[in-house]
Amino acid sequence: MRYLICVVLVLLSACDSRDENVALGTLERDRIAHTATVNEVVTSLPVAQGSLVSKGTMLVQLDDTQQKARIAKAEAEVVQAEVNLEKLRNGAREEEVAAARARVAGAKAALVESEANYKRAKNLVKRKLSSQASLDQSLAARDAALANLQTAQEHLRELTNGTREEDLRIAEASLDAVIAILASENKKLADLTIIATRDGILDNLPWNLGERVSSGSPLAIVLAGKAPYARIYVPEPYRVKIKVGDKMAVHVDGLEQAITGELRWVSSEPAFSPYYALNQDERSRLMYLAEVQLPDSEAHLPNGVPAQVELP
């Protein structure tokens, strides 16, 4: 009887020591949530849930009618800004310059006539054959003709000197602004087509065909990566004994053979109680979250299966 009790105690101690160097966890994959940027109707769901998808695969299509109209408006504004800038760079047309020169010539002729009328009126006043009012009217007409000539000459000079540098810079800035708006509208259009950003499994499509989605809600959930990784909790005494890149044996429930994985990440802070609130006896209860990546040959393993990782 005493011998049997000793054997049981030995087995229990062996089990305890075996459990101490095992980290428990589950198999997981990175969860990629593709969210909606606008409130629109789902028009296409080309891929079924549970399917393997590769990077660049279209997962969901939202209605893009309104966005295409906004892009058409932005494109028209770009064309308008381009034409306006080209017009300023080319300057006045030959016909406009010719018309301005003709107005200058007409203003000169009118000034000559007004000058002659003023001189005649002045002579008549000296000979007391006309009133002073008539002379004042002739003088005013001559001054008006001179002002019209100066206006026509300045307008001709404006056409021949070309566009101001400041106006060209304003037009260029306006063109850059509408081009940026067009790029933004094109990005919004692209966001209406949900594309897989990584290889993986299409885990969930929360919205049905024909439903109007709400902005910010998930449209497609992709479990990224080929093989899952074991998300485990490492006891505090083993934290200093492991590092990224270490090879570890992973035991998955339902599989007899262990799988060799590689530690890809380990937390630098404990997942449970803060270290400064623990005494020496309690520190061993701290747990550090870690991830052990399985090889691509284990891509068939599902998420959520319990796993145990042997620690050094």
Res. 135: pLDDT tops 60: yes
Report pTM.
0.68
Looking at domain 21-63+199-310, its CATH class is mainly beta
Better-scored residue on pLDDT, 239 or 15: 239
Residue 223's pLDDT is what?
94
Mean pLDDT of 107-130: 79
What b-and-e string marks burial along 223-248, b requiring 16 or more CB atoms within 10 Å of the CB? Answer: bbbbbbbbbbbbbbebbeebeeebeb
Q: Which residues pair with 25 in a beta bridge?
A: 232, 307
What is the per-residue burial (b if ≥16 Cβ within 10 Å, else e) of 163-185? beeeeeeebeebbeebeebbeeb
**Residue 60: count of CB within 10 angstroms of its CB:** 24
Q: What is the pLDDT of residue 297?
A: 92
> Which position has the higher pLDDT, 278 or 145?
145
Coil, strand, or helix at residue 248?
strand
**Domain assignments of the chain as residue spans, ordered by start:** 21-63+199-310, 70-184
**What pLDDT, in 10s, does the model give residues 60-93?**
999 999 999 999 999 999 999 999 998 888 776 6
Angle among Cα 55, 61, 62 to the nearest 5 degrees reads: 140
Please compute the mean of the pLDDT values over residues 117-127 and round it to a whole number.
78
Residue whose entry in the numeric block shows the structure tokens 């064309």: 79
270: pLDDT strictly greater than 90: no
